[in-house]
Amino acid sequence: MTSPIRHPRRVRKLTDCHNVDDFRLLAHRRLPYPVFHYIDGAGDDEITKARNASAYDDCDLVPNVLAGVEEIDTSVEIMGRKSALPLILSPTALQRLFHWQGERAVAKVAERHNLWFGISSLSSISIEEIGANYAGPKMLQYYYHKDSGLNTALVERAKAANFDAITLTVDTIVSGKRERCLHSGFTTPPRITPASFLSYATKPSWALNFLFRERFSLPNLETHVSEGSNESISIQDYFNSMLDTSLDWDKAEKLRSDWGGTFCLKGIMSVADAKRAADIGCDAIMVSNHGGRQLDGSRSPFDQLEEIVDAVGDRIEVICDGGVRRGTHALKALSVGAKAASGGRLYLYALAAAGEEGVERAVTILKEEIERGMRLMGATTISDLSRDNLRWR
């Protein structure tokens, strides 16, 4: 019997980060705990969040060798735009709270690597600024609010800023129960409470950047609501008070036609809904449970992918969103038939840990993992990947 030997793993600085989990450790060192746990946490018991990633471990890759893999092409076309990798940086809220460079850093890295990225309705940089400065493919993630004036304004602003797609999130009719945030008292903008004071005080670099750089706000919303920009509110309270629980297929279809451009639904999990999305003319769906932050106990996107691809893969692009921590996870999703894999935490920990430099390093690592994985699989193009190369345990 061999004795277990732990390999040395010390993550103190950016160059110590060699995978997504290393960035997570560095983010944990550098962020006040309410902010870290907002990113890292999920709904209820966080079982779905854990399964999103572990689902990939229940499926093994079967490589083909001697395939001549000197030249490989990792590019794909996603929603009409060429992407250098089959990877999308999913929209996530409040990024300037994680690092002062926020969405600007993510957009720059996405543009440099020619990747799709999304900004949230709750982004901390405006639709206009992103539209004016970043040429790469970009989507506006759309939360359907009760305030119809705000809903219309978001569409008009996305059109004027030449966004490539609107992605309507359909899994967030009410907020998931994010218990780490209930314990930490996390709000946007952060309210420093006696309980959290120490955490902010012991992360002076974060605190100084937050206090003395550009004022935090949610510029896509503040024309209509002050909560989140000028008034602190928990994300749970924001969703529960502002979003339209009556959102249904008719409203989704109307939004698609008002927008008139490329349209995606994010948060589709059932075959029936995937078919309906194709029926109303969506261009793509993101099979997603919001990174486990909404309905805990929900199935993982990767577990659900096969039946959705089989049902609608010939009518609509299917993106597998969540739990992706390795290049090989993306390759597994593509082998099942997804057009691309996507994720939030795969770049968010890196953003929180080290801003643009961090995101650049994280995306480069994932790119290298995808390239290495393809070579070792004997695949020279993405279309070489298929279910023939997979076995479930």
Which strand (E) or helix (H) includes residue 246? none
Report, in Å, the least distance between residue 92 CB and ligand FMN: 4
322 binding ligand FMN? (CB under 6 A): yes
345 binding ligand FMN? (CB under 6 A): yes
323 binding ligand FMN? (CB under 6 A): yes
93 binding ligand FMN? (CB under 6 A): yes
139 neighbors 167 (Cβ within 8 angstroms):
yes
Nearest C-alpha neighbor of 56 from the set 377, 325, 295, 378: 325
Which amino acid, 198? L
Cβ proximity to ligand FMN, 169 vs 389, nearer residue: 169
Q: How many other CB atoms sit within 10 Å of the CB of residue 372?
A: 13
- Nearest residue to ligand FMN, using CB? 344
Cβ proximity to ligand FMN, 290 vs 384, nearer residue: 290
305 binding ligand FMN? (CB under 6 A): no
120 binding ligand FMN? (CB under 6 A): yes
Cβ proximity to ligand FMN, 38 vs 163, nearer residue: 38
CA distance 266 to 355: 26
91 binding ligand FMN? (CB under 6 A): yes
Q: Dig out the tokens for 239 from the structure.
A: 């969703």
Q: Dig out the tokens for 330 from the structure.
A: 């993306």
Report, in Å, the least distance between residue 165 CB and ligand FMN: 13
CA distance 49 to 312: 25
Residue 189: asked if its preceding bond is cis (omega within 30°), the reply is yes
Report, in Å, the least distance between residue 172 CB and ligand FMN: 7
286 neighbors 268 (Cβ within 8 angstroms):
yes
**Interacting residue with ligand FMN among 74, 83, 92, 220 (CB under 6 A):** 92
CA distance 17 to 103: 21
Active site residue 290: yes
**Interacting residue with ligand FMN among 169, 187, 298, 335 (CB under 6 A):** 169
228 binding ligand FMN? (CB under 6 A): no
Nearest C-alpha neighbor of 355 from the set 214, 209, 211, 219: 209
**Interacting residue with ligand FMN among 14, 20, 35, 39 (CB under 6 A):** 39
344 binding ligand FMN? (CB under 6 A): yes
Give DSSP secondary structure letters for 140-171.
Answer: EEE--BS-HHHHHHHHHHHHHTT-SEEEEE-S
CA distance 378 to 372: 10
**Interacting residue with ligand FMN among 287, 346, 353, 374 (CB under 6 A):** 346
Q: Which residues are known to be catalytic?
A: 290
Binding site for ligand FMN (CB under 6 A): 38-39, 52, 90-93, 120, 122, 141, 169, 266, 288, 290-291, 321-324, 343-346, 348
